[in-house]
Structure 1
Amino acid sequence: MLVQQQPPLHLTYCLNIHPGESWAENFRGIHQHALEVKNRVCPDRPFGLGLRLGRAAADALAAPARRHHLRDFLRDHGLYVFTINGFPYGQFHGGPVKERVYSPDWRTPERLHYTNLLADILADLLPEGMPGSISTVPGSWKPWIRHESDLKSMTASLTACAQYLAGIRTREGADIALALEPEPGCFLDVPSEAVRFFREHLFPGGAEVQRHVGICMDACHVAVQFEQPAAVLAQLLAAGIRVPKVQLSSALEADGSASALKDFSEPVYLHQVRARAANGAMTSWTDLPLALASGKLEKAGMVRVHFHMPLYMSDVGEGLRTTSSAMDDAFFRRLKSGECPHLEIETYTFDVLPDKPPNVVDHIVRELEWVLQRV
């Protein structure tokens, strides 16, 4: 929904909270849940959607007839699409995902072709004159990048995608930005790595890359790294990197309370862990089960876990809390400046929360209201 007229600022929630891989399942999530959210949050105004389309759903929407049907549905129900989560290519619910969420990565033609298809779909759905965004894998999972050829392949694919997006803008007038989403343990991990990669590898590709490739800043990922969201936004924008999309979510935080964290150790998603000692020394684990098995959490200092927590929750109990307070007044002032036009709430972990709220729509509405109170 449009939460600020000038400069324009759009807010939504990511539909990846609703399980489903096929387009039929995705559409059911819109019909059964997103419509109810709209009717409760902004019944008299258009409500924007943050689609999550894996490869199977994107292939289905490649058919013009299905897109035509979707456009009619959006128009008839006061909905519009302005952003797509193009990060997970394959299965994202109902079974182990872990590191597979990064595959295929930006070294591969599969990732490029899939993302170009998402751009075609978005260009067909975007309201006239409204910019679009697609969030994506931050290059790759860091352990997979071993050779200079890997770096060159990623750069070439991202440059090719920028050129494809420039072609869409020329032919159809749709201005779409690809937004790499840094994440702990990935090729683009901390903000300084993103700045270096853009300056040394992407920006030499020319104006089309600078216009069409940027960063999706995820507030949960930033918090896990013990960074401040407002400072990260300032760092990226000062480096000339676009931030077309910001994902709003909190991380899980504890003071070495390993016993309480056990409830959040689950087999579906990757929950990277970072710990900061009193002297500033950092310790990292690839996943929460590994951190728990190490026996070192109790003395590691402050611990943060990549587990997307509800925005409205601050105290989790049993010595656990969230990082929601890191999204402070300075952060929201920056968002209202219009430099980051798309805001998307992302709490895809709803189904694996130890004590999840009983109703997903109630949960989504509470998260949207939390943001609306601040913007």
Structure 2
Amino acid sequence: MVRFFENLPSNNITNPRKGSSETMQTPFGHLTYCSNIHTGEDWQHHFAVLQENIPNIKAKVSPDAPMGIGLRLANLASIDLFDPKNFELFQNWLTEKDCYVFTMNGFPYGGFHDVVVKDQVHAPDWTSDERVAYTIRMFQLLSRLLPNHLTEGGISTSPLSYRFWWKDETALTEAIQTATQNMLTVVDELLLIAQDTGKILHLDIEPEPDGILENSAEFLDWYQNTLIPMAIEHFAQKSISEEKAIEIIHTHIQLCYDICHFGVSYEEPQPAIDKLNELGIKVGKIQISSAIKVDFTSDAQAKLQAIAQYDEPTYLHQVVALRSDGKYDKFPDLKQAIDGFEEGKYTQWRVHFHVPLFLDTYGLLDSTQSEIIKTLAIQKAQPFTNHLEIETYTWGVLPSEVQVPLNESIIREIAWVQSILK
């Protein structure tokens, strides 16, 4: 494996300053927002956007203490940032602006703004060498971006692949095996990074509707019955015991708990978190996000017209529909759900559309904001992760009546989460 990071300097940020009532370093974990909200697939563009926006946001939400950044890098940007000059410039800027990186988003590999993303958000998936190389590059960058006083960092990633790309169960099983083996290649690199730098980094798997891993049950089944057995075999070839292999996996492969995604799947957070704790599986980070909820028990036609405004061409907006008989129907995108609507058949829809956190209603529509409140209440009572990342990336495709200036929205979201955590 090529050791890309050897010529990159380490981050020299020391222990954070204290004393501000407004800070992103909460008693319940480091809080940030994901920079996938900002445009820029190459580093020069993305860095320029960060330089323009971060200082203004920090002045409002963490004026006297360091501010964490949840850094999203497309593949092209990750290559650009490996240039030592680019890296040093960014590192110096972080120090100057009193900011730091502790988590990264490695889910979208390619374009994420001003292009049709849809199911291509998973491409290239975990069956590909490109995904492996990109993720290793991201980890090597993170290992050098982490401040000296932090030893833990994580990168969220795709839940193996997009389910509908595989024509039958045999092809799906083969894809899962290949993807899992590729993740073990990344774990090999994480062990070397830990040895070289002392940084403990974890790959945070992010289940989402229509991914191969859609929910906590599927994630746990894969983790216990595919990942761990393959890891035991993988590390046995390196003369590592079964017990140690399981410890390695628990350390370096964790869950990204995206509240929007679990809300769309109608999952209650407490049972899911309890099961993770029972099995010793860690949560690398909570992605604080909200979905759309449609109550069809009244004004069904008006609400159908309201949700139709959110049918836009950029992102996938999967729908899980609760039927009147208590069963569920699933639609791969909002248009199919609208086309398949029958009045009286459904009592509720949950729609994968990352809407602003601080609103619980959008006219006739509701949000899953209550799921955020419940999840953060669990985190406050018994913290199960140290990383909290706000992820609302759909500002540019929201209906005009709910759009406000971007920085104002980011500041309002952070302030709302800070208020919940208090």
TM range (shorter): over 0.9
**Residue 173 of structure 1 corresponds to which residue in structure 2?**
198
Match of 1:350 among 395, 407, 410: 395
**Residue 203 of structure 1 corresponds to which residue in structure 2?**
228
Q: CA deviation at 1:64?
A: 1.8
1:210 maps to a residue whose letter is: H
CA distance in 2, matches of 1:104, 1:162: 19
CA distance in 2, matches of 1:84, 1:308: 18
- Asked if structure 2 preserves the Cα contact closer than 8 Å seen for 1:82 and 1:133, the reply is yes
CA distance in 1, matches of 2:175, 2:375: 38
How high is the sequence identity, in percent, across the aligned residues? 35
**Residue 69 of structure 1 corresponds to which residue in structure 2?**
89
Distance 1:336 1:169, change over 3 A: farther
Say whether residues 1:135 and 2:152 are aligned partners. no
Q: CA deviation at 1:112?
A: 0.6
Q: Deviations over 1:279-320 (max 9, x none)?
A: 321011000011112233663220110000111001110x20
SS of the residue 1:67 aligns to = helix
Say whether residues 1:359 and 2:405 are aligned partners. yes
**Residue 267 of structure 1 corresponds to which residue in structure 2?**
313
- TM-score, normalised via structure 2 length: 0.85
CA distance in 2, matches of 1:330, 1:103: 30
Say whether residues 1:120 and 2:177 are aligned partners. no
Q: CA deviation at 1:329?
A: 4.6
Match of 2:292 among 234, 242, 252: 252
Q: CA deviation at 1:248?
A: 0.5
CA distance in 2, matches of 1:117, 1:336: 36
- Asked if structure 2 preserves the Cα contact closer than 8 Å seen for 1:184 and 1:225, the reply is yes
CA distance in 1, matches of 2:128, 2:134: 10
Match of 2:342 among 296, 308, 316: 296
- Asked if structure 2 preserves the Cα contact closer than 8 Å seen for 1:230 and 1:331, the reply is no
CA distance in 1, matches of 2:254, 2:183: 11
Q: Which runs of 5+ in 1 are unaligned?
A: none
CA distance in 2, matches of 1:82, 1:267: 32
Say whether residues 1:332 and 2:353 are aligned partners. no
Q: CA deviation at 1:336?
A: 5.7
**Residue 26 of structure 2 corresponds to which residue in structure 1?**
4
Q: CA deviation at 1:144?
A: 2.5
Aligned residue runs from structure 1 range 31-42, under 5 A: 31-42=51-62
Distance 1:295 1:280, change over 3 A: closer
Q: Deviations over 1:38-91 (max 9, x none)?
A: 011111100000011010100001112211111111001100000110000000
CA distance in 2, matches of 1:324, 1:119: 32
**Residue 212 of structure 1 corresponds to which residue in structure 2?**
252
- Asked if structure 1 preserves the Cα contact closer than 8 Å seen for 2:25 and 2:67, the reply is no
SS of the residue 1:343 aligns to = strand
- Asked if structure 2 preserves the Cα contact closer than 8 Å seen for 1:116 and 1:161, the reply is yes
Distance 1:297 1:199, change over 3 A: farther
- TM-score, normalised via structure 1 length: 0.95
1:135 maps to a residue whose letter is: S
- Asked if structure 2 preserves the Cα contact closer than 8 Å seen for 1:217 and 1:233, the reply is no
CA distance in 2, matches of 1:108, 1:368: 36
How many aligned residue pairs are there?
Answer: 372
Q: CA deviation at 1:219?
A: 0.4
**Residue 111 of structure 1 corresponds to which residue in structure 2?**
131
**Residue 283 of structure 1 corresponds to which residue in structure 2?**
329
Higher gyration radius (CA): 2
CA distance in 2, matches of 1:344, 1:143: 28
- Asked if structure 2 preserves the Cα contact closer than 8 Å seen for 1:203 and 1:210, the reply is no
CA distance in 1, matches of 2:380, 2:130: 33
Aligned residue runs from structure 1 range 215-254, under 5 A: 215-254=255-294
